[in-house]
Chain A
Amino acid sequence: MRRRPRVASRIFLALIYLFLYAPIFIMIVFSFNASKSRSVWSGFTLDWYTELFSDSMIISSLTTTIGVSVLAAIVATIAGTFAAIGFFNMRKRWRSPLLAINNIPVMNADIVTGVSLCLLFVSLGSVLKYQLGFGTLLIAHITFNIPYVILSVLPKLRQMDRNLVDAAMDLGCTWFQAFYKVIIPEIMPGIINGMMIAFTMSIDDFVISYFTAGSKVQTLSMAIYAMTRKRVSPKINAVSTLLFLFILLLLIIINVRQIRQEEREKKLRTLKSK
């Protein structure tokens, strides 16, 4: 059944990858362009990369983006892991509706999530005398991140041998010890994976931030959006190239981890079968 793909399908694949990568390639190339043009090449320069660090608007929006992504990813990972363990130990009658609600931010259009949170924050804000800002932005990011952590931790819980927890408790562990000495190490790959997904979702988000950040703080995506109305500075190409490389690195780390883990599991399985 394992026939090698034919030439035609190879060419087709190559064209699709060209389609997917052409704009990114152009983006990166024009971050080194000497002039501000976005379609005429006028020589190589690193100026945009050096100027980048003296542009206070870009730096402050980058700090906001990284700050909110890191904080939201950490909070969402902790809350999501607890929630996943809780859901897993519930009866199905309770778990199913809760998981359905958990899926709402995943399935809903970003604009609907953004708008509905915006309405909530504005109506709460008028009561609590609080305006849209970094706080509301962070709450919004945590809210759309947690479901991804849960969806990444739950399968690991399902794979876990249920007897392990019982065994630990029979041997005298309190349920808290069973929790952090047995369950957490078992589901760690799912937790790490969920955190990575949460972080990348946060860093890439535009629509939800746009509706929940208010006018005083802005993320990098919001800064870019504001610029596309006029003209995007090549500095933005430069900062995005850096971010892209950073995320590429993260993705490689995730994949190498996964490959190593699978190889370890394979080895264990062959050991067991012996």
Chain B
Amino acid sequence: MKKLITAFLLSILLIGLSYFLHKGFRVSEKVRVPGLMRLMNPNDGLWKNVDISFLNPKDEITLQGPNNPITVYYDDRLVPHIFASNIEDATFAQGYILAQHRLWQMDFMVRLSAGRLSEVLGKATISRDLMMRKFGLEYGAKKAIEEWKKFPEDYKSISYFKDGINAYINGLQPEDLPLEFKLANYKPAEWTDLSSALISKNLAFTLSRRGPDVSNTNTLLHIGEEEYNKLFHMNDPNQIPVIRENVAIESSLRRDKPDDVHDLSHTLSGYTYHAPHPGAGSNNWAVAPSKTSNGSALLANDPHLQLTLPSIWYEMHIVCPGINSYGVTVPGIPGIIIGFNDHIAYGSTNVGHDVLDYYTIDWVDKEKGTYKVDGKVLEAQKVPQKIKVRGQEDIQWDMMITEFGPIVWESENPDNKDLAMQWLANKSPNKPEFNSFIKALQCKDYDCYKAATSNFLSPAQNFVYADREGNIGLRINGHLPVKYEGEGAFVKKGTSLQNKWSEFLPRESNPQTLNPSLGFVSSANQKTTDESFAHPYIGGFEDYRGRRINELLEEGEQLDYKDMMAFQLDALNIKAREFTPLILSNIPSTMIDDKNRKIVDALKTWDFRYSKDSEAPYYFEKIADKIEDAMWDELESEDYKMSKPDFWRLYQLALENPEDAYFDIKSTPEKESFQSLVSQAFAEASEEIDLSKEHNWGEKLPTNVMHLINIPAYSRTDLPTGGNGDVLNALKGNFGPSWRMVVELGTTTKAWGVYPGGQSGNPLSPFYDNMVDDWATGNYNELFFSADESTYKEKCKIVHTLIPTNE
């Protein structure tokens, strides 16, 4: 009996221990120990994720889907070179390969975009899910798919891609699941059309959700129209527009400002503005043969996006009859988004026009089901939402959709109205826009490229182009709403349908240029055009990078690909070049002593480059930040948020009127001037900085490439890179050049590229982060590109053949 009782107790211990070692347990609110034995066992745990693919280089994979065998050669950076018999098979292979190397990332991005992360990650991601649901990405993606289906011929391509991904998922054994699935203990969802649509919507969310309408409205009400216009209502006059010689066909479409359109009844408090990261942006340019050393056109592109591991980009090369194309795509999207082929090269930067407006809604009933528009009572569409939360109860609410868009802010204050959001990304496309980047692979000239990408909807991009014939071009591509002057700056009244924009410029009227007399085209997220453009727009535009690249390209002669690389890595800051002399001339000599002379000397001898070994950038940023903080104290309120003017406005005021009232600090009895602010900022900076130590910029603002769910062990942090958001090498914390590409279009196309990551999404693979160090030091890889399969047969050790089951 005694033995039986002992056996029983030990069984309980055994079962309990096994359970906890499988499922894990929570130590505290924030710390959870995962199932250690489930993860660390050698049979189906993380040890099965150890990448030994290079030890089994020849693999034949039989699967359903392709029509003919597809051969995939992996080079020494694990870049796949796909040789297929037709574009359908190539698209299938693209899906399969992306899933093979980036499945967890793709699944994660879909869940993130749809607001379904909490389903697998628990309560930590509820607020993120709520935000994404309110932005309506899934709602917009579903509407897009309904429209896509109306074009069955074009729609096929996304089906091939989906089939490729699912062929991989269906063949997965539990032990082969990517590491992160095992860590969080869940499985990948089946890939659907909605999945790709959501990934595309997520790009729009990253790049086109700018909408400071609420804080602008508060600022206008706080300081009045005259002061507002003084501070905000213009772009930096020094900006050089993207399109300097516009060849677009002018549209007759115009929009008059409706009467009484803005809702300026009261300030709005409590609203959370999910602003895009200030580091998001890009550079691109193309140089005509007349300015290059060997008579070949050159093209360069570096999109500045979040730097993550796995990387946002995946490099691939696709060869099939009529196609020999290389470049990068976002895992989850078919085709090549930024790349080149034998004939052309192309890339993109974000346009940044304001395509997101807010409207106050006049609810008729207390239940907020009906609202008044143009004198009529309309019923809001109710879309039930359920957020499943792992380990706790589901969260449910009804998403209300008005004629203006979904309700994104429900006010708790009865004096405030709810806000609906009109956002271009949620608009249904009326053309098959999703396969722009598959069609682009096949182009040999500008007309083809224009036609291939003409249905691209959102987020609007500056599409740069160059070809072997020496043509260069740049086109604003994407939907541009027809707006009245200044539309979108303030919250509008949702009382009339006339208040919302509903027409778009015909694509041939989007600003564009082809072979301009300057001999180059460029864009760096600055304003699109000068004032002569007939269609008003506002947006968030970059002030310095565009000027710098224009400066370099205007001065440059006999340029070659090495110059393009040097330009991409250029760290000269025009903001610092203009503002530093003002700082130095306004520091009273009496303030400079032996201790802080180091700061002054560093600034005086500075070449205005944000080099990783330079100390001056740190001193400059410290002082400039302090001046800016003190400057706009008039725009601080405890009750509501206000917008702050761009830095160029401060600089301009300092030049024009250093005694301007905005330089005065309201909380002091004295009347401050620009000089007072500089003195104060310099004194504070001297006090705070330990001048006995070195303050190299690379160490003060290191670059971090974080794992997507911030697993420190699988992130690369504290990379001493130099750079800054205002310079061409636009590194800003965990944002920056996510892919650097330079293409030379000579008799043969040559290209170089690098991104901060690796081809594999598997943290245990040597190809997970193998390009990070090269990227951080500014090295490029020559992109291995040929349509001759025998080249790859000789060079590539890892060869996978996808064989159709019916073979």
A and B associate in one complex: no
Interface, chain B (partner A; CB < 8 A): none
